[in-house]
Amino acid sequence: MPDIYVGLMSGTSLDAMDAVAVEFDKDHPRVLATHSLPWPTELRANIQQLCQPGDDEIRLMAEVDPAIARVAADAVNILLNKASLQPDQIQAIGSHGQTIRHMPELGYTLQIGDPNLLAELTGITVVGDFRRRDMAAGGQGAPLVPVFHHAVFTSDSDRVVVNIGGISNVSILPAGSSQVSGFDTGPGNLLMDYWCQKHWQTPFDEGGRHAAKAMFNAELLAALLSDPFFHQAPPKSTGRELFNPNWLESRLNDFSHLSPEVVQATLCSLTASCIADAIKQYAPDTTELFTCGGGAFNLTLMAMLQELLPNVAINATNALGVDPQWVEAIAFAWLAKQRILNLPGNLPEVTGANNLRVLGGVYPA
């Protein structure tokens, strides 16, 4: 009998809490229902504030931690109602939590969204805190989705899966996946979203329409790509700690003459370039690329990526039977399954951990 798990994901874009109910037959996922619950405006602002150093952080985190859990519980309860499921039909919730600080070079990462409260409010066992055991074993604690991509998308041909959320990451899956690798490539939607919110008061660049109105600026692109992160060898991971509005604004000081549309086009090109550069360097023979995450719906970004990789067939993961919008949430449902079954949830070749580890803490219903 297939098992049902719920996956919860809220990434660096901070657009919504995504929830998905998934039935697993071995590793094959079948989505039963999905729900996306937007963040309350004040809570979203508080989360953004916690992502950067500030005053009285402990008090603010103490308030935000349970508030995130309540939003997660609301998302789960709405999801179960949509799917006509009862809590006792769910094996566990895999909750990523909200990352407010990820500093692997200093040996720590922090995701909040109290799993104790989430278990209490839903009546379902919760698996959370996935990243720190990998980090304790010498890893980066991220990215974690390549292990799911490896389990679900491996084939008899070389392929790459690119997850474009707030941050972009690649999973390199050679035929048979004997030498899987993966890492964060740099900004995904995060900087583009910020620029849209600043100049057009929209949460994101739907379809890439603002970026499509202008050509990117080569000098600005080169300045952005000069950041040492792009030249760092994997394993590597990143987040808002590096790529944030302050990072961008400081690099725009010499480019104040550029229109908002040109900057947006350049930010779109930045995302495409760091993905393409990673593939050219670490997967030069691949002919198949599958995209997921919100960036998969940015037509301008997809066109730029195709131009940079003319010999690669680029499709979204729905070509593989998995809706690109829900891949990350499904991944954390799968990671919860791994934990409940006491199976490894990391790939040392991706995170840099010294061995396979069972990831996550279990918080019983």
Considering the domain architecture, whether residues 160 and 285 belong to the same structural domain is answered as yes
Q: Over 70: is that where the pLDDT of 354 sits?
A: yes
Considering the domain architecture, whether residues 170 and 283 belong to the same structural domain is answered as yes
What are the C-alpha distances in Å from 22 to residues 107, 137, 154? 33, 29, 19
* pLDDT, position 26: 81
pLDDT per residue as tens digits for the range 236-250: 999 999 999 999 999
Considering the domain architecture, whether residues 85 and 50 belong to the same structural domain is answered as yes
How many structural domains compose the chain? Answer: 2
Considering the domain architecture, whether residues 240 and 330 belong to the same structural domain is answered as no
Q: H or E element: which one contains 99?
A: strand 98-103
- DSSP category for residue 184: E
- The answer to whether 204 and 153 have CB atoms below 8 angstroms apart is no
- The answer to whether 46 and 64 have CB atoms below 8 angstroms apart is yes
pTM over 0.85: yes
Domain CATH for 87 = 3.30.420.40
Considering the domain architecture, whether residues 99 and 44 belong to the same structural domain is answered as yes
The structure tokens 């009546």 sit at 123
Considering the domain architecture, whether residues 40 and 98 belong to the same structural domain is answered as yes
Give 274's pLDDT tier (boundaries 50, 70, 90). Answer: very high
Considering the domain architecture, whether residues 213 and 285 belong to the same structural domain is answered as yes
Considering the domain architecture, whether residues 162 and 191 belong to the same structural domain is answered as yes
* pLDDT, position 200: 98
Range of the domain at 251: 145-320
Question: Hey, what's the torsion of the CAs at 121, 36, 170, 221, to 10 degrees?
Answer: -120
Q: Over 70: is that where the pLDDT of 177 sits?
A: no
Considering the domain architecture, whether residues 156 and 262 belong to the same structural domain is answered as yes
Considering the domain architecture, whether residues 93 and 226 belong to the same structural domain is answered as no
The structure tokens 């998969």 sit at 296
Considering the domain architecture, whether residues 314 and 207 belong to the same structural domain is answered as yes
